[in-house]
Amino acid sequence: MNGPVDAPPLSVLDHFPADLLDLDATELHARLGGPTLIRINADTEAEREREGVFVSALIHGNETSGWDAIRRLFASRSMPEYRPVILFLGNLRAAEAGVRTLSDQSDFNRIWTNRDEPLVEAVLDEIANDQFTASVDLHNNTGKNPPFAVVTDTEPGTLDLAAQFDRRMVLVESPASVLTRVFTDCPAIAVELGPVGDPACVDRAEALLAELLFDPPTGPKTVHPNTIYRAIARIFVAPGTHFTIGHIGDPTDADVHFTGHVEERNFHELDAGFVLANTTRPIREVIRVEASDGEDVTDRFLVQEGDAIKLRDRVIPAMSTTDIRGVELDCFCYLMETIDVD
């Protein structure tokens, strides 16, 4: 997708409008007009120089639990006073439509290395002089996954921040254009709260934000090494491929049929020989596996035996989904391994 991110590129508010607490995610675009950055407790230059927290929500329009948690938290505890907060509300047009992203937009979580995007330029310029102690990007999962934190490095501060959310963490090196990577001078994580619509997701987000925005910092939390995973590859469906996942999708003239069982095994090991999909076409015509650096590693992970596409070795899947549109916009799943961090 090569369309513009949005227009207008960014609105900046110097306070949190109280009426936003009454608005569902689908109503924010009509009220705010587009992506909006809201400064809380940063009315003076001195306050802006204090270390604050950057919180982002609705980067994907249908992932609404983060916004629901913000509404509930601010309604119950008023505005944070402990430190400055910058709240970024992202793809409000997509939120209005209840979708991840609109067809004329770029994915808001795949743009942050591109200064040619007006939104990217506007956000980065606006926060250039701010000091942050942490950045948290709030997301929901497309498929059935447990809650986990996504990290892009294994620095102690990053792992400690992630541990405030969950002991399950995924180190992701690709794509490099996610919002988290903007923050090189402070710990930054994305949190995958769980499936859209699960009330527990709002609870998880609210608990994390309450600790970060309202409570004094506590000491580091213990991070158990075998709860840290590294994403080593992603499985993509070739553009233009007609596919089904389990019983989802139209099987008529489908090029490839994915098993519907991978989603149930997210964060659990799959054995070598596990049947990922069935197809009568050559594997490379329908599926591509990419390493973090973009290298084609299809043959490393998959083998075709007759109509069956099988795993060559044991792997741990994550973020697998039966959402056809979600796969088309992103990928079928990530493949992971556990790592030790000293």
pLDDT at 327: 93
Tally Cβ neighbours within 10 Å of residue 133. 18
With 90 as the cut, is the pLDDT of residue 121 above it?
Answer: yes
On whether both 241 and 302 belong to a single domain, the answer is yes
With 60 as the cut, is the pLDDT of residue 309 above it?
Answer: yes
209 assigned to some structural domain: yes
On whether both 181 and 252 belong to a single domain, the answer is no
> Domain of 216?
11-223
27 CB burial (10 A radius; 0-12, 13-18, 19+) = middle
pLDDT digits (tens, 9 = 90+) for 102-120: 989 989 999 999 888 899 9
162 assigned to some structural domain: yes
Write down the pTM of the prediction: 0.89
5 assigned to some structural domain: no
On whether both 138 and 176 belong to a single domain, the answer is yes
Q: Which two tokens stand for residue 84?
A: 């400055």
287 versus 174: the higher-pLDDT residue is 287
1 assigned to some structural domain: no
Angle, helix 65-77 to helix 199-213, in steps of 10 degrees: 50
pLDDT digits (tens, 9 = 90+) for 135-192: 999 999 877 899 999 999 999 999 999 999 999 999 998 888 999 999 999 999 999 9
* Number of domains composing the chain: 2
CATH number of the domain that 150 lies in? 3.40.630.10
On whether both 130 and 176 belong to a single domain, the answer is yes
pLDDT digits (tens, 9 = 90+) for 24-50: 999 999 999 999 999 998 655 555 557
The answer to whether the peptide bond before residue 146 is cis (omega within 30 degrees of 0) is no
239 assigned to some structural domain: yes
With 60 as the cut, is the pLDDT of residue 218 above it?
Answer: no
On whether both 123 and 167 belong to a single domain, the answer is yes
